[in-house]
């Protein structure tokens, strides 16, 4: 018996378990590295990766695998604070509406795997997915985390919250025609919306999204009207924050945005009609602004092709006429700007095009890059592990040709992507 006990102790004792060899380090070398902390270019660019983390800077370890990317700039993996990876707008609104009625959740999820792949291959390694039906976004997040499909790290909102007939209540069919008369995130009154926050958290939400005003593309609301009372917004934010979740507010209109900021939301999305007083309140409270300028460009492209529903044309024109002015005032006022695109309104994989629009509105290239890296990391609550190329951070690294602080549009030509220390894309190696 004593010998048996000794044998069990020998087998199970951690001290005698054979040590696993450390993974071989990988060195990424390029002409330049962009430092998100300082906003400056460092030369040359050198990042040492081991075990999925950035190990250290400096000399190349003797046993390292070296990936030489040449005349390029290394950057942290980019982030997008506002995407919709479970769908993508087509050229005809009527066909999109019909497809939405015919596709099962399983088909939506399978199609979305192409959207997740395009997004990460464009250099966006972390995103917030702000609203999805049937928990498809939760399934995508979990499948990506488990290595079953390729895509960005996802923070998901599950069902977007709103009130009856509002922007998040997208069903506009005749009464009695559909089994579900309302979208799954719809309720009225503080108690009803508080219950939905609890439901979303129960089923896996990382963040909450609320539709505080009308929107451009919904057919059942004007673009700028407030759609929740102050008490309703207060209840949503109070319940979400009590459970450690942040709140993103879709808000084109100024009054709805103001109410959301008063309630304590963490970010205002779109903000087409923001006024100076609301911007000043956002700055005072530290509320982030996610302008999604590329969304309106995507809608403009569809409008020019005749692809918008008649009810949305006037709303698009009003938002497009005001959004640029609001964005320029926001930048000049010093409101914290995070990077988000509303991808899905346009084709996934075009996310980097937002960068040039921010620069055109008054940001420097370095400021726009910071919004898409350390800025989003702070908004997401992940700045302790992502957003900058520093020792100990998760090894999300991309490479672009040239110097993005001189020509920010080079971020649209990402050719190298590493996520969690794993190379997902290296176009230069493919040519060699």
> For residue 109, is it within any domain?
yes
Do residue 72 and residue 83 come from a single domain? no
Whether 209 is catalytic is yes
Over residues 256-267, the pLDDT tens digits come to: 999 999 999 999
Predicted local confidence at residue 98, as pLDDT: 76
Q: Are residues 86 and 215 in the same domain?
A: yes
What is the domain-level CATH number for residue 328?
3.20.20.140
Q: Please choose, from the candidates 331, 356, 340, 342, the residue with its C-alpha nearest in 3D space to the C-alpha of residue 290.
A: 340
Asked if residue 328 is part of any domain, the answer here is yes
Residues 351 and 292: their CA atoms lie apart, in Å, by 10
- pLDDT tens for residues 218-247? 876 689 999 999 999 999 999 999 999 999
Question: How far apart are the C-alpha atoms of 410 and 72, rounded to whole Å?
Answer: 10
Same domain for 152 and 287: yes
φ and ψ at 128, to 5 degrees?
Answer: -105, 125
Residue 335 lies in a domain: yes
Residues 118 and 252 in one domain: yes
Domains identified in the chain, total number: 2
- 62 domain-assigned: yes
| Residue 5 maps to a domain | no
pLDDT, tens digit, 9 for 90 and up, residues 9-47: 333 444 444 555 667 899 999 999 999 999 999 999 999
Pick the catalytic residue from 35, 80, 169, 209: 209
Cα 207 to its chain centre, rounded Å, is: 11
> Above 80 in pLDDT, residue 111?
yes
Q: What is the pLDDT of residue 103?
A: 86
Query: Is the residue at 4 inside a domain?
Result: no
147 and 273 fall within a common domain:
yes
Residue range 173-182: mean pLDDT, rounded = 58
Q: What is the CA radius of gyration of the chain?
A: 23
Average pLDDT of span 208-215: 96
Tell me, yes or no, whether 85 and 188 share the same domain. Answer: yes
Share of the chain above pLDDT 90, in %: 78
Is residue 66 located within the same domain as residue 87? no
pLDDT tens digits, one per residue of 293-346: 999 999 999 999 998 888 899 999 999 999 999 999 999 999 999 999 999 999
Q: What is the pLDDT of residue 180?
A: 61
Location of structure tokens 């995507």: 298
Statement to judge: residues 198 and 66 lie in one domain: no
Are 200 and 347 in a shared domain?
A: yes
Q: Are residues 191 and 335 in the same domain?
A: yes
Examine residue 246 and state whether it is found in any structural domain, yes or no. yes
What pLDDT was estimated at residue 5? Answer: 38
Residue 199 burial by Cβ neighbours in a 10 Å radius (0-12, 13-18, 19+): middle
DSSP 8-state secondary structure symbol assigned to residue 161: B
Which CATH number does the domain housing residue 413 bear? 2.30.40.10
**406 lies in the same domain as 343:** no
Region at 431 (left for phi over 0; alpha for psi -120 to 50; beta for the rest): alpha
Q: pLDDT tens digits for 124-168?
A: 999 999 999 999 999 999 999 999 999 999 999 999 999 987 887
425 close to 121: Cβ distance less than 8 angstroms: yes
Q: Within this chain, do residues 84 and 72 fall inside the same structural domain, yes or no? A: no
The whole-number pLDDT of residue 178 equals: 62
Residue range 355-366: average pLDDT?
98
Q: Please check the confidence at residue 406 and state whether its pLDDT lies above 60.
A: yes
Residue 1 lies in a domain: no
Dihedral angle sign, alpha carbons of residues 259, 264, 265, 269: positive
Q: Strand order in 246-251's β-sheet? A: 207-211, 246-251, 267-270, 288-290
Structure tokens at 177: 């025609």
Cβ neighbours of residue 198 closer than 8 Å, sequence gap 6 or more: 239, 243
The catalytic position among 342, 376, 396, 403 is 342
Confidence band of 171 (pLDDT split at 50, 70, 90): low
Q: Domain range for residue 24?
A: 15-76+388-431
171 among known catalytic residues: no
């Amino acid at each position: 018996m004593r010998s048996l006990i000794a044998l069990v102790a020998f087998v199970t004792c951690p001290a005698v378990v054979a040590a696993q060899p450390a993974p071989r380090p990988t060195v990424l070398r390029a002409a330049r590295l962009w430092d998100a902390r300082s906003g400056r270019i460092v030369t040359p660019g050198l990042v040492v990766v081991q075990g999925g983390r950035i190990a250290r800077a400096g000399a190349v370890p003797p046993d390292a695998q070296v990936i030489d990317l040449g005349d390029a700039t290394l950057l942290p993996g980019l982030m997008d604070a506002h995407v919709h990876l479970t769908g993508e707008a087509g050229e005809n609104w009527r066909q999109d509406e019909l497809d939405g009625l015919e596709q099962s959740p399983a088909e939506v999820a399978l199609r979305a795997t192409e959207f997740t792949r395009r997004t990460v291959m464009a250099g966006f390694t972390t995103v917030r997915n702000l609203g999805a039906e049937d928990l498809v976004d939760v399934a995508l997040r979990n499948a990506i985390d488990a290595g079953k499909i390729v895509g960005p790290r996802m923070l998901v909102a599950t069902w977007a919250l709103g009130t009856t007939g509002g922007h998040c209540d997208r069903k506009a069919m005749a009464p009695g025609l559909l089994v579900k008369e309302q979208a799954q995130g719809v309720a009225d009154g503080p108690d009803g919306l508080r219950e939905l926050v609890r439901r979303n958290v129960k089923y896996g939400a990382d963040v909450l999204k609320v539709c505080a005003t009308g929107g451009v593309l919904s057919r059942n609301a004007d673009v700028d009207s407030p759609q929740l009372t102050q008490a309703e917004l207060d209840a949503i934010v109070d319940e979400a924050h009590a459970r450690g979740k942040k709140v993103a507010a879709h808000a084109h209109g100024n009054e709805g945005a103001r109410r959301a900021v008063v309630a304590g939301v963490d970010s205002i999305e779109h903000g087409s009609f923001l006024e100076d007083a609301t911007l000043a309140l956002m700055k005072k409270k530290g509320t982030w602004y996610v302008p999604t300028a590329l969304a309106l460009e995507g809608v403009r492209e569809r409008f020019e092709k005749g692809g918008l529903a008649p009810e949305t044309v006037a709303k698009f024109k009003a938002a497009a006429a005001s959004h640029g002015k609001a964005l320029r005032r926001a930048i000049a006022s010093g409101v914290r700007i995070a990077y988000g695109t509303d991808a899905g309104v346009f084709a996934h994989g075009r996310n980097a095009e937002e960068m040039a629009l921010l620069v055109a509105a008054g940001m420097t290239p370095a400021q726009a890059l910071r919004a898409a890296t350390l800025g989003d990391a702070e908004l997401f609550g992940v700045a302790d592990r992502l957003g900058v190329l520093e020792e100990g951070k998760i090894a999300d690294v991309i490479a672009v040709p040239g110097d993005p602080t001189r020509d920010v549009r080079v971020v649209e030509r990402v050719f190298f992507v590493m996520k969690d220390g794993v190379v997902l894309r290296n176009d230069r190696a493919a040519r060699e």
